[in-house]
């Protein structure tokens, strides 16, 4: 049986790409597809094991690399035009459009859903504000476009045979958005690479794409009120210039760091800080794998991966003063790095591989017999 793997796009190696890496290695698909591919050769080769990626017609649009997110109105047509008719099983890795791949009656489609479209189901006003579409005629057309994409997203969910959610938090979103049940299989954490380090240095750490919904601004505002506490930020993105201008001297930007450097920063940090509502939050578990506790907003996927006062602490409200109070409370508390790592081991990539493979064999091959 021939298997196709469909990813939304390949731009930078982030959390979804860690899932893609393990699925491709585990299933060995016969073809890999995506709307776009702008990733460097070395990173892509590691993910696809040299298969390359067949992309949609949107790849050829001038300046698509810089503006691919603005092409969202064309995603439905682009993903539908990708030809996967020669394959028996379709595995999509989707947070945007991949699950909308065209499916024939004889094919089986498994969708690993990182989240239903955020801007359509949960964060419409945030995205309208971000792109300056929150007033006048621009808002009217933008909301009409989002409404159309939302209908398309719900309609194409009916063609998915089996949904996998990356957390219970996302499983509830899938139920709410699509009216579909899903099986939760948590993303893989490379606990071998993110090895334990018992002794920590005197800095806090966060790593994320520097975009608005990651809420890095809030973290910087909190540390501006804690001038004796050092914060290191890893990552790049469109908000980088703005965030650097507002950052006080005790905040350092490390830029985009390679894997080995990221591990070192995680291992040595006093704590990993997160202020966004994450679908799962793999970075927080990579930190815990290093024995590093987590300070996180008490919403979303982090509620499933951080144990309060045992592997980290939550702050309950998105406000700098609340985060400041939590950091000060954190410093009066002691954490056992070995206990923290044991928690992370529950999410090890071998656990992911076993659960995904069992699901794949059980659902796809049993259904294939029925269809035959």
pLDDT tens digits, one per residue of 225-271: 999 999 999 998 889 999 999 999 999 999 989 889 999 999 999 99
Q: What DSSP character marks residue 68?
A: G
Structure tokens at 179: 């009216």
11 phi, psi to nearest 5 deg: -125, -60
Please check the confidence at residue 46 and state whether its pLDDT lies above 80: yes
Going by DSSP bridges, is the β-strand pair 54-55/271-274 parallel, antiparallel, or unpaired?
A: unpaired
CATH number, domain 3-188+349-371: 3.40.50
Give pLDDT, residue 124. 65
Alpha-carbon 113 to chain mean position: 10
Which band of pLDDT confidence, cut at 50, 70 and 90, is reported for residue 372? very low
Q: State pLDDT tens for residues 321-331.
A: 999 999 999 99
C-alpha angle 179-183-189 in degrees, rounded to nearest 5:
130
Interatomic CA distance for residues 2 and 13, integer angstroms: 26
**pLDDT, position 370:** 45
Residues in the chain: 372
pLDDT band at residue 128 using 50, 70 and 90 as cut-offs = low
Q: Does domain 204-345 have CATH number 3.40.50.2000?
A: yes
Residues 195-212 have a mean pLDDT of 94
Give dist(CA 371, CA 109) in Å, integer: 13
Residue with tokens 């504000």: 129
Does 369 have pLDDT greater than 80? no
pLDDT for 255 equals: 93
**How far apart are alpha carbons 259 and 265 in whole angstroms?**
10
Task: Identify the band that residue 289 occupies on the pLDDT scale cut at 50, 70 and 90.
Answer: very high
The pTM of the full predicted model, rounded to 2 decimals, is: 0.90
Does the structure show a pLDDT above 80 at 130?
no
Residue 359, φ and ψ in degrees, nearest 5: -65, -45
How large is the average pLDDT for residues 104-122? Answer: 90
3-state SS assignment for residue 348: strand
Rounded CA separation 124/286 (Å): 30
Least confident of 134-138, 290-294, 368-372: 368-372
Q: Which two tokens stand for residue 20?
A: 């893609």
Does the pLDDT value for residue 215 go beyond 80? Answer: yes
Q: Where in the chain is the domain with CATH 3.40.50.2000?
A: 204-345
Residue-wise pLDDT for 151-185, tens only, equals 999 999 999 999 999 999 999 999 999 999 999 99
DSSP state of 186: P
Q: Which pLDDT does position 144 carry in this prediction?
A: 83
């Amino acid at each position: 049986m021939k298997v196709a793997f469909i990813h939304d796009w390949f731009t930078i190696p982030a959390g979804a790409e860690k899932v893609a890496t393990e699925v491709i290695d585990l299933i060995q698909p016969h073809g890999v597809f995506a709307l776009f591919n702008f990733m460097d050769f070395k990173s892509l080769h590691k993910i696809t094991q040299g298969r390359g990626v067949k992309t949609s017609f949107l790849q050829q649009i001038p300046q698509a690399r810089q503006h691919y997110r603005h092409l969202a109105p064309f995603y439905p047509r682009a993903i539908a035009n990708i030809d996967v008719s020669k394959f028996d099983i379709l595995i999509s890795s989707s947070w945007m459009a991949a699950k909308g791949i065209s499916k024939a009656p004889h094919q089986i489609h498994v969708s690993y859903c990182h989240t239903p479209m955020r801007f359509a189901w949960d964060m419409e006003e945030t995205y309208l504000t971000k792109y300056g579409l929150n007033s006048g005629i621009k808002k009217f057309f933008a909301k009409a476009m989002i409404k159309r994409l939302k209908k398309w997203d719900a309609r194409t969910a009916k063609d998915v045979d089996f949904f996998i959610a990356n957390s219970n938090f996302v499983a509830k979103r899938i139920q709410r958005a699509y009216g579909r049940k899903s099986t939760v299989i948590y993303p893989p954490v490379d606990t071998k690479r993110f090895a334990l380090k018992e002794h920590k240095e005197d800095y806090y750490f966060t790593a994320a794409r520097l975009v608005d919904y990651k809420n890095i601004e809030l973290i910087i505002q909190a540390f501006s009120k804690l001038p004796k506490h050092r914060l290191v930020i890893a990552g790049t993105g469109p908000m980088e210039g703005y965030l650097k201008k507002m950052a006080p001297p005790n905040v350092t930007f490390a830029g985009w760091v390679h894997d080995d450097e990221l591990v070192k920063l995680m291992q040595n940090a006093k704590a990993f800080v997160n202020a966004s509502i994450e679908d799962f939050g793999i970075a927080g578990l990579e930190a815990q794998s290093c024995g590093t506790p987590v300070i996180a907003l008490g919403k979303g996927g982090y509620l499933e991966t951080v144990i309060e006062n045992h592997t980290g602490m939550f702050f309950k409200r998105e406000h700098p003063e609340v985060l400041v109070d939590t950091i000060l409370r954190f410093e009066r508390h002691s954490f056992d790095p070995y206990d923290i790592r044991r928690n992370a081991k529950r999410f090890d990539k071998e656990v992911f591989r076993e659960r995904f493979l069992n699901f794949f064999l059980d659902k796809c091959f049993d259904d294939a017999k029925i269809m035959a």
